[in-house]
Chains A and B, each alone.
Chain A
């Protein structure tokens, strides 16, 4: 426990990593304490088209209100929850599928690996967004279908990384030793190979979380995300974009929120990579 904490704290060694981690922690804090810090109810309709800084009954709308009069700041704060719930679930699900296929494909090799790699390459070559849209149009817009779509579109990339790592690790001596000891394949895959492949996977997980955040944002933006009253960053842009030219505050702030979170995740990934290379 102490050891893993020390490993996490090593991110201090990288300036970029600290910046990224701070941004991510900030948003995580906002997500956890959304109820406490948001000034208004995100669904309450107060003062339509209010501009930033306008005072209404019960406080000031720092970032203004949308066309229905809902406070933008509160919606962004609550939207953080939507992202922090669904992006990790979707990424984890993509990882679950990608890691299992990668371990099996890389370890056994042969025709099995060829087939999985072929399908993975094809999914990767296809435009992601079209794939996501096709799947969402099949399943209908909801959190669960976002998870399915992201898993389908992202797991091949995870597969590729895991497979590459397995290929280099499996010829090492300690794997041969484990085989000689008579360990089961499952044991070798999950306790001998997987932990040794973790550092590129952690870097990729940060980047992929960023991509997933973007995907969820895009789907919300296209009106294929969460059903309307849910405070969701992409959805907010979609709801207000017909007024983007005359009332930019409605769309600009959710955009900044998404971009800053993705930036934080990308910086964190860079930082982790930097720290991992130093060893």
Chain B
């Protein structure tokens, strides 16, 4: 599990952080100058600090303990180190013009850039300790905006999961009980249609029917005037429809499989009432697969949540990630991606535990 978490965050790191210049460009905007980006990278710890005073035969700053981070063609960004024992980022003191000889000295100081692996360790450590960095879009620390958004999404996804589980298990069991019957066929049509209509399409269609045509429900879920269940109906329905079809199909297959097995036939032939056979004998065996599938749906729900939240303007995790991507907010994107990593690993763990609980034949060695 830990290895999984590390690898997953490693992949996130590879995608987002491997090119530090890209991160700086995102943080500062398209029109930032190379010098600004270098300065930003230096401030955020992407470079190894040069040995104090190493290249600073250059200018008047005679006091010891100044840092030069990196030189561009004609300029170098010079930083003053904080006084002894004070934890503070270095202060920028000057953007100094350099002579060619001085630049040569600076170039020899390369490599200033920290290589990827220590940078990954540092990066991960920062997140683990709860320091998510600033959000450039919202002008607040990422943590401040992330937690309330996650809470909102937990409400949305939790409600959706609840209805999805009820609906899909009910439909799946009903269809799987009598394979090939009318209810089974009707179910198949329902399942294949819902799995073919992605969330954004069902959201649009739902809005067309229930908001435009019938005028029953509000078309957005901004929750500006406080929390309202009414505003939750549409996003939840869109989420439930898409995932329920898939889980119900799995449930149906699993149920049909169990119903074909000899012990069910025996139970029926013994004269146990049919309803009791279903509830006592069939269900427990038939639910093993669907339960694990349902838990693994949770990460998938995070995908759906992005679409649905951005469509209905619901202030949650999904719309946050979407906004972060649209406005190139690097630390916010990273924080969101790592939240997803945690959710995935946690659900995998829970799924494993529940699986061993439901199926005693499986034991960890």
- Are A128 and B341 closer than 8 Å at their CB atoms? no
B196 and A263 within 8 A (CB): yes
Evaluate contact between B219 and A244: CB separation under 8 angstroms: yes
A129 touches B303 (CB 8 A): yes
> Please, which residues of chain A bring their CB within 8 A of the CB of B199?
218
Chain B min CB distance to A123 (Å): 7
16 contacts between A and B (CB under 8 A): A125-B299, A126-B344, A133-B321, A134-B15, A134-B16, A134-B337, A137-B16, A137-B325, A218-B200, A245-B219, A246-B212, A251-B207, A255-B200, A255-B204, A262-B197, A262-B198
A:225-279 near B, CB below 8 Å:
234, 237, 241, 244-246, 248, 251-252, 255-256, 258-259, 262-263, 266-267, 270
Contact with B along A74-85 (1 / 0, CB 8 A): 000000000000
Residue of A nearest to B311 (CB): A241
Residue of A137, A217, A256, A263 near B200 (CB, 8 A) is A217
Which of A122, A245, A251, A256 interacts with B11 by CB under 8 Å? A122
> What is the chain A residue whose CB lies nearest that of B334?
A134
B198, B322, B344: the one contacting A214 at CB < 8 Å is B198
B38 contacts the other chain (CB 8 A): no
Contact of A138 among B16, B208, B348 (CB under 8 A): B16
- Shortest distance in angstroms between A50's beta carbon and chain B's nearest beta carbon? 17
- Whether A127 pairs with B299 at a CB distance below 8 angstroms is yes
Are A128 and B340 touching (Cβ within 8 A)?
Answer: no
The answer, yes or no, to whether A135 is at the interface (CB within 8 Å) is yes
Q: Could you tell me if B306 and A129 are in contact, using CB atoms closer than 8 angstroms?
A: yes
In the complex the two chains form, what is the Cα distance from A180 to B213 in whole Å? Answer: 71
Given known pairs A126-B344, A130-B303, A137-B333, the reply for A217 and B201 (CB within 8 Å) is yes
A224 and B325 contact, CB distance less than 8 A: yes
Decide if B302 is an interface residue (CB 8 Å cutoff). yes
B205 near A126: Cβ-Cβ < 8 Å? no
- Sample of 8 further A-B pairs with CB below 8 A, known A127-B299, A134-B337, A248-B212: A134-B333, A245-B207, A246-B212, A252-B208, A255-B200, A256-B201, A262-B198, A263-B192
Check: B60 CB closer than 8 A to any chain A CB.
Answer: no
Given the known interface contacts A134-B337, A138-B22, the answer about A222 and B204 at a Cβ–Cβ threshold of 8 Å is: no
B268 at the interface (CB under 8 A from A): no
Known contacts A138-B16, A237-B204; decide if A266 and B303 are in contact (CB<8 Å).
Answer: no
Contact with B along A201-217 (1 / 0, CB 8 A): 00000000010001001
Give chain B residues whose Cβ lies under 8 Å from the Cβ of A223: 326
Q: How far is it, in angstroms, between the C-alpha of A127 and the C-alpha of B306 when the chains are bound?
A: 10
List, in ascending order, chain B residues with CB within 8 A of A214's CB.
Answer: 198
Which residue on B lies nearest to A259, using beta carbons? Answer: B197
Listed from nearest, the 6 A-B pairs whose CB atoms lie closest are: A129-B303, A248-B208, A263-B196, A255-B201, A127-B302, A245-B219
Report the Cα distance A270→B249, complex, angstroms. Answer: 13
Residues of A within 8 A of B (CB): 118-119, 122-123, 125-130, 133-138, 210, 214, 217-218, 221-224, 234, 237, 241, 244-246, 248, 251-252, 255-256, 258-259, 262-263, 266-267, 270
Number of interface residues of B (CB under 8 A): 48
Please give the distance in Å from A226's CB to the nearest CB on chain B: 16
CB-CB under 8 A for A122 and B4, given A127-B302, A137-B325: yes
List B residues 45-70 near A (Cβ within 8 Å): none
- Say whether B207 contacts A248, CB under 8 Å: yes
* Contact A259 B201, CB 8 Å, known A138-B16, A223-B326: yes
Q: Counting CB contacts under 8 A, is B166 at the interface?
A: no
User: Does B243 have its Cβ within 8 Å of any Cβ on chain A?
Assistant: no
Distance of A12 Cα from B54 Cα, bound (Å): 79
| Residues in B neighbouring A248, C-beta threshold 8 A | 204, 207-208, 212-213
Question: Known contacts being A138-B16, A255-B200, is A222 close to B310, with CB within 8 Å?
Answer: yes
The reply to whether B306 and A126 form a contact with Cβ atoms under 8 Å apart is no
Contacts of B15 in A (CB 8 A): 134-135, 138
> What's the least CB distance linking B254 to chain A, in Å?
18
CA distance A267 to B311 in the complex (A): 28
Q: Mark B85-113, 1 if CB is under 8 A from A, else 0.
A: 00000000000000000000000000000
Which residues from chain A contact B306 at a C-beta distance below 8 Å?
129-130, 133, 222
Which of chain B's residues 1-41 have a Cβ closer than 8 Å to chain A?
3-4, 7-8, 11-12, 15-16, 22
Contact B201 A128 (CB under 8 A): no
- Minimum CB distance partner of B336 in chain A: A130
Residues of B within 8 A of A218 (CB): 198-200, 307
- Closest chain-A Cβ to B311's Cβ sits at a distance in Å of 7
Q: Would A122 and B300 be within 8 Å (CB), given that A237-B200, A245-B211 are in contact?
A: no
**Bound state CA distance, A241 and B307, in angstroms?**
12
Min CB distance B193 to A, Å, is 7
CB distance from A133 to the nearest CB of B (A): 5
Question: CA separation between A217 and B325, bound complex, in Å?
Answer: 17
Q: Is B195 an interface residue (CB 8 A)?
A: yes
Q: What residue in chain B is nearest A132 (Cβ atoms)?
A: B303
A223 to B333, CA, bound (A): 16
Of listed A118, A221, A224, A246, residue having the most chain B CB within 10 A: A221
